Amino acid sequence: MEIATMIGYALLSLFIFPGLAALSAISLFTEWFVRKSVARMQNRMGPAYVGPIGLLQPFADFFKLLLVKRYVEQRYSSPLLAVMGAAIGIGALTVTLLLFPISPLRLIASYDVIIFIYLTILWPFLSLIIISLAWPNPFVIAGVSRAIALAIVTEPTLVASILVPMNIIARKYSQLPPYSVYYTSIAVSRLWTGINIDMGSYIITLILLAISIIASIIAIQSKVMLKPFDIPEAEQELIAGFATEFSGPVYAFFRLFHDMEITVLVLAIVYIFLGGPAPFNHLSVEGILTLLAKYIVVLFIVSLIRGAFGRFRIDQAINKIIKYALIPSVIALIISFVI
């Protein structure tokens, strides 16, 4: 009976909630929110035709690409490889949700942040490379090379910023399993409220958390290639860069994968830095509304940055990430070892 129950929880968590079905729906809502927010900032309508206030437009776009549009196959292209690349990325992001308290079946262990990094940083990036190079093209190669250049500074920034609250919790609350996504998510609210922390350390802790949140948002903006870090696309210069040859079902799966990546990374900020539904419980109405409010706020900040900035050059982008994200997050991580 226990084995059957575990299998049931596993299937529920992977395919229904918070798995593939729920993640797909939330990701398409995320796309709508970002598109609508940026459009309003730029005095445009944004999605407006399908559903109330255009809410179902991303769903309509996805199914139109999937069922109506056709991909253009060239001599050296491999549509199957591209779909497999997207499936790998979507699968990795879906499994990542099992590390958060939101999942009925949870993967909890000391140092499970290593699994989180493996699933959210390594595999999505490799998936992008696989999808892109399934349609070899000079513009694609240029776009992928820029994506790699950005990743060299973006990924270490994201790792360093995520480790800051985990390291502080590991040092101040030694009774908890260290560097666990789950236990960080349920304990990080103590850092904001200052429970069992003296005033001097509390102020420093707040500063370190603020620095790491800012660094993580900059890193996410670069990782998902939203303005001002959309250099790997650079439509006017590279004719869409790594996405030059994307169309039809391949483009549909790529867009879904991209939206899922934004969703999971924003959820990571909400849980690892902001404690998810804290100070309420997950199953309470207040907890659900608090979790949703935090998610919308972080997503709006991401949208605001996208709408407020123009595209950087590749050298400018790398310089900005190093200056305003990588160095501050590394310094914050080092200080977190001594407070």
Q: Which residues contact 177 (CB under 8 A, 6 or more apart)?
A: 108, 109, 110, 183
> What's the total number of domains in the chain?
1
d(CA 157, CA 219): 6
- Give SS3 for 247: coil
How far from the centroid of its chain's Cα atoms is residue 292's Cα? Answer: 16
The first and second tokens of residue 122, run together, are 């390594």
Which residue type, as a one-letter code, is found at position 183?
Y
According to the model, what pLDDT value does residue 238 have? 57
According to the model, what pLDDT value does residue 331 have? 96
Range of the domain at 50: 2-336
- Give SS3 for 104: coil
d(CA 21, CA 91): 12
- pLDDT tens per residue across all 339 residues of the chain: 477 777 887 888 888 888 899 999 999 999 999 999 999 998 888 888 888 889 999 999 999 988 888 777 777 778 888 889 999 999 999 999 999 998 888 889 999 999 999 999 889 999 989 988 888 887 888 888 888 899 999 999 999 999 999 999 998 888 888 999 999 999 999 999 887 777 788 899 999 999 999 999 999 999 999 989 988 776 556 566 777 778 888 889 999 999 999 999 999 999 999 999 988 888 788 999 999 999 999 999 999 999 988 888 888 999 999 999 999 999 999 999 887
